[in-house]
Amino acid sequence: MDVFVIEGGRRLAGRLRVNGSKNAALPLMAAALMSDQPVVLRDVPDLADIRNMLRLLAELGCHKTNEGGARDVMCLHATERSNSHARYDIVRTMRAGICVLGPLLARRGYCRVSMPGGCAIGDRPIDLHLRGMRALGAEVSMESGDIIVKAPPGGLKGATIFLGGTFGSTVLGTANVMCAAAVAQGKTIIESAACEPEVTDLASLLTKMGAKISGAGSPRIIVEGVAQLGGADHTVIPDRIEAGTFMMAAGITNGDLILENCPTDALLSTIDRLNAVGVEIEPIEILRPAGFTADPLRQVVRVTCGRVIKPVEVTTQPHPGFPTDLQAQLMALLTLADGNSVITERIFPERFLHVAELLRMGAKIFRQGPTVIVSGVRQLTGAPVMASDLRASACLVLAGLAAEGTTLVNRVYHLDRGYERMEHRLADVGARITRISEKDAGVAEASG
C-alpha cells in the first residue's frame, strides 16, 4: 500500500486540466452492454474504479477493443452474452458495479448482481433501484447474497415510477431505471429522478445510441422505449468533484490556479459556498473561431484566494445543491477559517471518517449526528493520518498541503480510485508531495 508524503505550507500556482468524470464514465461504460455495436468513450480517466469496471464488463462479454490506442479513449464492444453474473469479488471492490443491473436487464432480460454491501461512507441500500425494476414488470429475488432480476415473458413495460427516498433521489438508481426503460415497451416516467450532471450525460449517450429520452437533468425524466440501441461516440463530461477539489486546494494554500476543462455550470452551489469563504473563481475569456460558443461545462477559470478564509454554513443536498462528494474537502478548508462553520451532511449522514484524522492535525471540530461545527484554527500541523474513503483521502491531502511540517497520508489506494496521478498534478503546480511504499513510510516516520 502506498503513502503520500506531503511537506505543507507551499502555495499552489499554475495550470491544471480537469479530467473526464469518473462517476459519469462508470454508468456510460455499463451502457455499452446495451448494444451489439461498439460504443466509443473519450476523455475517460485512468483510475482504479475504471479498470475494475473494465474487468467486470469483460466478464460480462463486453471488451475494450482498442488496447494500445489513445490512453483516454475506450472502444467497448459487447460481443457475447453467455455470462450475466456480476460477481461479489468485483462488486465489493467497486460499489458502482451495480450500474450494470439496468443495462443487463434491458439487453438480456436477466441479470444476477452481487448485492453491494455498505461502505466507509455508510449504508448503501439499493431498494429504489429494485423498486424501479419491479415497476417495469421485472421479477426480483435473492440467492446467496446475489440479486436476481428477470424480465417478464413479454418483456419490460413502461410505467410511472417514483424514485424518491428518505435521503432524496438516487443517482445510480435513476441511471439503472433509465437504461432499462430505454428498451421497454411504451412510455416510462421517472418522477423524483436524480438531476445530477452524470445522469444527463448518460441520457445524452443513450440518445446517441437511439434512445428517446427527455427531461434528463430535471426531476421528471420521460423515456419512450425503442426496440434496440446502436453504437455511439461520446466524450465524458469533466469531473465536477475533481474541479471542486482543485478549487479548494487553491483556497487552502492561498493559491492561484488556472483550471482548464472546468464544468462551471455543474458547480454553481460549490462556487457559491467558495465565494462566501473568500475563494474567487473567474472565467477566463479565450479567443474562439467564429461560430464557436463557450461550453459552460468546459470552461477555463482562474481560482484565487486571499489570506483570510471566512466561515460558512453548508448543507449537502442532491444536485444542484452542495455535493456530498465535496463535503470532506470543504471541511479541510474550513479548519483554517476565521470563525465557526457549520456543515450538515444530508445524503450520507455517517460520512465523517475524516473528522478524527483532521483532529490529529490540530483541527477543532465538534460533531453531533449529521452536523459538524468546525472552529477555525490558525495552523494545522502535519501528522501521519489514515485515508478511509476516496473523498476523505482528498480532504487529508488538502489539509497536508496547508499544514506546517510533514503529513503522511496512508492508504492512498482510496484516492487512486477517483483522482488520476494526483501527486504528479499537484507537484506540477508547486506542491511538495511524493508517493512512497508503506514500508518506506515506516522508516520515514521512525527516523523523522
Catalytic residues, by residue number, are 119
Q: Per CB under 6 A, does 127 bind ligand EPZ? A: yes
Q: Half-sphere exposure (CA, 13 Å, Cβ side) for 202?
A: 35
Q: Per CB under 6 A, does 172 bind ligand EPZ? A: yes
- Give 5 or 99: the residue with its C-beta nearer to ligand EPZ: 99
Using the rule CB under 6 A, give the single segment among 122-130, 217-225, 256-264, 289-297 that binds ligand EPZ. Answer: 122-130
Q: Per CB under 6 A, does 129 bind ligand EPZ? A: yes
The string over 115-148, giving b where at least 16 C-beta atoms fall within 10 Å of a residue's C-beta and e elsewhere, is ebeeeebbeebbebbbbbbebbbbeeeeeeebbb
Q: How far is the CB of 24 from ligand EPZ (least distance, A)?
A: 8
- Give 177 or 431: the residue with its C-beta nearer to ligand EPZ: 177
Kindly report the backbone phi and psi dihedral angles of residue 153, in degrees, each rounded to the nearest multiple of 5, phi listed first: -50, -40
Q: Per CB under 6 A, does 164 bind ligand EPZ? A: no
What nine digits make up the cell of 352?
A: 465523517
Euclidean distance between CA atoms 38 and 436, whole angstroms: 39
Q: How far is the CB of 126 from ligand EPZ (least distance, A)?
A: 4
Interaction residues for ligand EPZ, span 231-250 (CB under 6 A): none
Q: How far is the CB of 53 from ligand EPZ (least distance, A)?
A: 10
Q: Per CB under 6 A, does 125 bind ligand EPZ? A: yes
Q: Answer yes or no: are the C-beta atoms of 358 and 395 closer than 8 Å.
A: yes
Q: For ligand EPZ, which residue of 242, 325, 345, 423 counts as binding (CB under 6 A)?
A: 325
Q: Per CB under 6 A, does 324 bind ligand EPZ? A: yes
Q: Tell me the β-bridge partners of 437.
A: 2
Q: Per CB under 6 A, does 165 bind ligand EPZ? A: yes
Q: Per CB under 6 A, does 212 bind ligand EPZ? A: no
Q: How far is the CB of 94 from ligand EPZ (least distance, A)?
A: 8
Q: Per CB under 6 A, does 350 bind ligand EPZ? A: no
Q: Per CB under 6 A, does 80 bind ligand EPZ? A: no
Q: In what order do the strands lie in the sheet with 146-150?
A: 85-86, 110-114, 146-150, 139-143
Q: For ligand EPZ, which residue of 124, 212, 424, 439 counts as binding (CB under 6 A)?
A: 124
Q: How far is the CB of 26 from ligand EPZ (least distance, A)?
A: 5
Q: Per CB under 6 A, does 167 bind ligand EPZ? A: yes
Q: How far is the CB of 43 from ligand EPZ (least distance, A)?
A: 17
Kindly report the backbone phi and psi dihedral angles of residue 388, in degrees, each rounded to the nearest multiple of 5, phi listed first: -115, -25
Q: For ligand EPZ, which residue of 158, 173, 244, 278 counts as binding (CB under 6 A)?
A: 173
Question: Measuring CA to CA, which residue among 227, 205, 214, 192 is closest to residue 74?
Answer: 205
Q: Return all residues near 420 (Cβ < 8 A) that are at least 6 apart.
A: 19, 45, 46, 47
- Give 159 or 347: the residue with its C-beta nearer to ligand EPZ: 347
Euclidean distance between CA atoms 429 and 432, whole angstroms: 9
Interaction residues for ligand EPZ, span 371-390 (CB under 6 A): 390
What nine digits make up the cell of 152?
A: 417478464
Question: Measuring CA to CA, which residue among 271, 262, 266 is closest to residue 312?
Answer: 271
Interaction residues for ligand EPZ, span 17-46 (CB under 6 A): 23, 26
CB atoms closer than 10 angstroms to residue 239: 30
Using the rule CB under 6 A, give the single segment among 126-134, 207-215, 333-341, 437-445 that binds ligand EPZ. Answer: 126-134
Question: Measuring CA to CA, which residue among 192, 198, 124, 207 is closest to residue 161?
Answer: 192
Tell me which H or E stretch contains 202.
Answer: helix 197-208
Q: Per CB under 6 A, does 221 bind ligand EPZ? A: no
Find cell 475494475 and name the residue.
52
Interaction residues for ligand EPZ, span 402-431 (CB under 6 A): 418
Q: For ligand EPZ, which residue of 96, 151, 202, 422 counts as binding (CB under 6 A)?
A: 96
Q: How far is the CB of 318 from ligand EPZ (least distance, A)?
A: 7
Euclidean distance between CA atoms 216 and 410, whole angstroms: 39
Euclidean distance between CA atoms 306 and 397, whole angstroms: 20
Residues lying near ligand EPZ in the complex (CB under 6 A): 23, 26, 96, 123-129, 165-168, 170-173, 194, 198, 324-325, 347-348, 390-391, 418
